[in-house]
């Protein structure tokens, strides 16, 4: 089946630092989504990307849809303690009948 390779698996940073994580696939994707999950809760949508090359920001977050349509990255600038959580990439592959699949997540820890 389809797989998304998300890296890094975890990150430990200081408050104020910038963060970058990415997601790759061997297949072409039509849509890339980035979510954040806090403990014991459902994932919350951060950014949605629909076109190759698209660069979208949401506050301190910026994400891009790779031009090959096989990758995406998420950047967080000037991290703060409330950025702590698990970040997931997700997407729909360019194949009939495929549903939304997720990467394994990046756990972010921020020390003040």
For residues 32 and 73, which CB has a smaller minimum distance to other proteins in the complex?
A: 32
Closer residue to other proteins (CB): 20 or 50: 50
Contacts of 59 (CB under 8 A, 6+ apart): none
Structure tokens at 107: 């756990």
Q: Is 82 helix (H, G, I), strand (E, B) or coil?
A: helix
- C-alpha to C-alpha distance for 71 and 64, rounded to whole angstroms: 9
Q: Of residues 31-90, which lie at the interface with other proteins (CB under 8 A)?
A: 31, 33, 35, 40-45, 48, 50, 88, 90
- Site for other proteins, rule CB under 8 A: 1, 6, 30-31, 33, 35, 40-45, 48, 50, 88, 90, 92, 97-105, 107
């Amino acid at each position: 089946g389809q797989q998304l390779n998300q890296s890094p698996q975890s990150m430990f940073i200081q408050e104020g630092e910038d963060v970058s994580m990415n997601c790759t696939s061997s297949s072409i994707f039509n849509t890339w989504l980035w979510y954040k999950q806090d403990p014991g809760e459902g994932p919350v949508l951060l950014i949605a990307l629909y076109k190759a090359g698209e660069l979208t920001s949401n506050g301190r977050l910026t994400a891009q849809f790779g031009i090959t349509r096989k990758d995406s990255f998420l950047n967080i600038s000037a991290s703060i303690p409330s950025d702590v959580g698990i970040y997931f990439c997700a997407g729909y592959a360019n194949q009939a009948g495929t549903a939304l699949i997720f990467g394994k997540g990046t756990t972010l820890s921020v020390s003040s």
